[in-house]
Structure 1
Amino acid sequence: DTFRRKAQMLLLTLPSAGTLMPSSWTIKRVKLLAKNPVAFGGFADIYKGSYNGCTVALKCLRLNTYFTSEDHEKIRSKFRREALLWKDLKHPHILPFLGIDIETFPTSYACLVAPWMSRGTILTYLQDNEPPTTEVDRLIFETAQGLVYLHSRDVVHGDLHSPDLQSNILLDENLHIRLADFGLAKIANNANFSTSSNNGGVYRYMAPELVAPLLLVALTEEDKVNSHKSPASDVFAFGMIGWQVRCDYLSINGSLLY
């Protein structure tokens, strides 16, 4: 396991392999089920498809024509790093990585393929079903378990959030949590292994030490050292999500917090 992690870190930092995708990751005969994307991101669109008889989600890179060739290279490199980090994450509460599709959208560079989460996001599930409080607590606990696993692998998620439809906290068909979206993930304690810059994320879920530099607030030297995404900033985001889930649940059924 230690050897695999070292090999992974080496691959993440090889400049010459910045945009190359290993052929062993490629999967074939992915079929598109809808022409239009079901969701949009900063540099990627999400499509619904099928693979081996199962419904899947395709995260497809969007390379806008007004970007420079240098921009395209940087975006491809970050996309590859996301795939490399995600590929080795295997846990009951992490969205599985199935492979890379390069046939469906040849001009998009590549699509990352994962199982389709038919139950949607944690918030939409709570709003649509109004489960008992014990069920809400179970979902929060499973979110924590997924995060603990990431940190045990020295991976900082960096972008946990749950604003309704754009949440990256999903539910599978058995109503278990699956953490997704590793576009801003990084290897803990090493900025060179980040899949993105430090300033990405949703403000509501960002720890104060991450928000201050974005607001051009004067920072002490200690603040500068701590103003990087870390396991601690992931825990802050988790706390915000737990509070939001509980508050949204209360507004739905009017029950007491405890």
Structure 2
Amino acid sequence: MPDQFLGVFNSFNNGLTSNHVLAVEFDINMNPDMKDIDNNHVGIDVNSLISNVSARASFFSYTEGINKSLDLTTKTPTQVWIDYDGVKKIITVTLAPIRIAKPNKPLLSAPIDLSPVFLDSMYVGFSAATGPIEGSTGNHDILGWSFNKTGPAQSLDLSKLPSVTWPRKSKRKLHRDLAISASTVLVVLIITLAGILYIQRRRKYAEILEDWELEYGPQRFSYKDLYKATNGFNHKELLGVGGFGQVYRGVLPSSNAQVAVKRVSHDSKQGMKEFVAEIASMGRLRHRNLVLLLGYCRRKGELLLVYDYMPNGSLDKFLHSNEKQSLNWAQRYRIIRGIASGLLYLHEGWEKVVLHKDVKASNVLLDANFNGRLGDFGLARLYDQGENPRTTHVVGTYGYIAPELVRTGKASTSTDVFAFGAFMLEVACGQRPLKVQGLIDDMSLVRWVLEKWKEGAILDATDPRLEGDFVVEEIKLVLKLGLLCSHYNPMTRPSMRQVRQYLDGEVILPEVFMDIEGAGMTALFGNEVSNAFAMTLPSSCVSANAMSTESLLNVGR
């Protein structure tokens, strides 16, 4: 293309980190679209024709001790030195007229880390483009150049430089048609794709990119960057395998940031636009107890989700695997409170209601300071505030799925609260929701904790690895609140705002008691029967559509 893109970029890729282009431009045509400072400047460009830094063409004079202007449109030859210090990560550009030694002060000096830009194989060369206005073209001749990637380049023998034959006026138009004329010259230091290599690399990194995805900009990652970040999705970088795909550790070449890349299969374009729009929306979620969704990529039958990397992995490993050390109670309680805070943000703190729909220990990740962050929004769906959320099928993990979700297929904030209740019991007891280890017959964790409470020995339900080292009031609160959140009746469960208030000590948990008559209620799973429990709540804690205290006491009778 003519004018501003110099045959290197275009309106779609200008500025993308996947370009891997470093350039020094000598510009005699001011272009406001590229934020040019004037029509006689030098700039340093990285992956874009909008310069990182630029300055009016000039050089430092030893004799006068000042900067003197250089007119890039004159016939006077000019020397240019481009240097990069790989240790200090600084690039400099120095100018001077042809017979003057290299000044000790560069025209431009910029701290730029080129390691994300450099690839194993590079090209060095020049590019130029004509100006948009008749008569504004210019002739730029390269008289000589020297390049070295391991130290200073060899000095040019100025006596051997070719002479420039300037065209006469009568032949100027013909020369303009035949010669390479330019209003801007780029010294392009890196151009990655050429010829057959270009085709092969495009096939290797081919991905799906439709017009409607251009609006998502930075949230769209290139498959090439993710491939390189994970060393080609090497098995050594595999963090885990779940029901929705494999997760790899990666280091983005553009920023050296550590990320987690989840590969999810998708075979149809149906609904993909809406799903990607949802991902882009969720990428705006910001909370200290949520794993940040950085963006996505689509390639053939795959959807790749890019998240912040959590160095300590999932909480599940610390609770149920001997590979990790056991967490103490202070750490566990901080994690519970943090996840409650994150869920409250999803339910009430954003412009839309976000239902996570898969709250469990394996989806709680720990950062470097063992703070809990709720991750894996692969099942989440967004709903406008006030809308009635509906789903067409039950999703989630067995043991954390609320009974009404199985019956009706309708998810709600209350079904997230149920899963969070199972999660709280899991953290406090060190047991999975559907199996209590060491018992003759397996039972749900909720029923087992209820049995311990009925016996007056609720503390016996705590994780033996805690060795009794906990705050009794806190662990009793977690156990009772976990039972309350796991109540069969969704109307009885508190909201996440109430849960957070209880955990923070802002509100005292109302007395929770069992149906001591033992009439029981339908079990949480299957046809087994567990002891019923209910609670009395002050009127201020009950929502407008909640059941009365009397009806709560009669649940399941």
Residue 252 in structure 1 maps to residue 465 in structure 2:
yes
2:379 corresponds in structure 1 to: 184
Distance 1:191 1:72 in 2: 27
Change (3 A) 1:23 1:85: closer
Q: Check if 1:57 corresponds to 2:283.
A: no
Alpha-carbon contact 1:45-1:62 (below 8 Å) kept: no
1:61–1:130 Cα change, 3 Å: closer
Shift of 1:85: 3.9
- Equivalent residue number for residue 411 of structure 2: 229
- Helix, strand or coil: the match of 1:73? coil
Question: Which residue is 1:204 aligned to?
Answer: 399
Q: How does 1:60-71 map to 2 (within 5 A)?
A: 60-63=263-266
| Equivalent residue number for residue 32 of structure 1 | 230
Say if 2:278 and 2:382, in contact at 8 Å, map to a contact too.
Answer: no
Q: Aligned partners of 1:126, 1:231: CA distance in 2, in Å?
A: 26
1:122 maps to amino acid: L
Higher helix share: 1
- Residue 358 of structure 2 is aligned to residue 159 of structure 1: yes
In the superposition, relative to structure 1, how do residues 44 and 124 fare at CA in structure 2: closer, same or farther (>3 Å)?
closer
Shift of 1:86: 1.9
After the TM superposition, which residues 1-258 of structure 1 pair with which residues of structure 2 at under 5 Å, given as runs?
A: 20=213, 22-24=215-217, 25-28=219-222, 29-30=225-226, 31-33=229-231, 34-36=233-235, 37-51=238-252, 52-63=255-266, 72-74=268-270, 76-77=272-273, 79-101=275-297, 106-126=299-319, 128-152=324-348, 153=350, 154-162=353-361, 167-188=362-383, 190=387, 197-213=392-408, 227-248=409-430, 250-255=463-468, 257-258=475-476
Unaligned runs of at least 5 residues, structure 1: 1-16, 64-70, 214-226
TM-score computed with the length of structure 1 as normaliser: 0.71
Offset at residue 100 of structure 1 (A): 2.5
Could you say what secondary structure the match of 2:269 adopts? helix
Aligned-pair RMSD on alpha carbons? 2.9
For residue 290 of structure 2, give the secondary structure of its aligned residue in structure 1: coil
Shift of 1:191: 6.3
Cα contact 1:48–1:58 (8 A) shared by 2: yes
Equivalent pair of 2:331/2:370 in contact (CA under 8 Å): no
Question: Retained in 1: the 8 A contact 2:265–2:303?
Answer: no
Shift of 1:144: 0.2
CA separation in 2, counterparts of 1:151 and 1:32?
34
SS state of the match for residue 399, structure 2? helix
Shift in CA distance, 206/87, structure 1 to aligned 2, threshold 3 Å: same
For the Cα contact (< 8 Å) 2:261–2:304, is it kept in 1?
A: yes
The one-letter code sitting in structure 2 at the alignment partner of 1:92 is R
- Name stretches of at least 5 consecutive residues in structure 2 with no aligned partner: 1-209, 431-461, 477-557
Give 1:21 deviation, angstroms.
6.5
Contact 1:156 1:185 in 2 (8 A): yes
Task: Answer whether contact 2:251 2:258 (CA < 8 A) is retained.
Answer: yes
Residue 173 of structure 1 aligns with an amino acid whose one-letter code is A
Q: Report the 3-state secondary structure (helix = DSSP H, G, I; strand = E; otherwise coil) of the residue aligned with 1:204.
A: coil
8 A contact 1:93–1:142 mirrored in 2: yes
Which string of whole-angstrom CA distances, capped at 9 and with x for unpartnered residues, describes residues 145-201 of structure 1?
A: 000010112211111122xxxx11111112111111112212345467x7x744111
**Aligned counterparts of 1:56 and 1:185: Cα–Cα separation in 2:** 21
Report the CA distance shift for 1:109/1:80 in structure 2 as closer, same or farther (over 3 A). Answer: same
SS in 1 for 2:234: coil
Q: d(CA) in 2 for partners of 1:79 and 1:41?
A: 20
1:60-115 C-alpha deviation (Å, 9 max, x unpaired): 2324xxxxxxx51247457525513421210001111222245xxx3344422112
Q: Which moved more, 1:115-124 or 1:142-151?
A: 115-124
Listed one character per residue, the Cα deviations across residues 90-141 of structure 1 (whole Å, up to 9, x for unaligned) are 0001111222245xxx334442211211111123235623233222111111
SS in 2 for 1:38: strand
In the alignment, the residues of structure 2 paired with residue 134 and residue 174 of structure 1 have an alpha-carbon distance, to the nearest angstrom, of 13
Question: Structure 1 residues 79 and 59, CA, compared in 2 at 3 Å: closer, same or farther?
Answer: farther
Equivalent position amino acid for 1:250 in 2: D
**Is 2:315–2:366's contact at 8 Å kept on the other side of the alignment?**
yes
- Partner Cα distance (1:155, 1:175) in 2: 25
What is the alpha-carbon distance in structure 2 between the residues aligned to residue 75 and residue 124 of structure 1?
Answer: 35
Amino acid at match of 2:230: L
Contact 2:329/2:466 (8 A) holds in 1: no
1:115 alignment partner AA: D
Q: Could you report, residue by residue, the CA deviation over 1:30-55 in whole angstroms, capped at 9, with x for unpaired residues?
A: 31144234333445332221112122
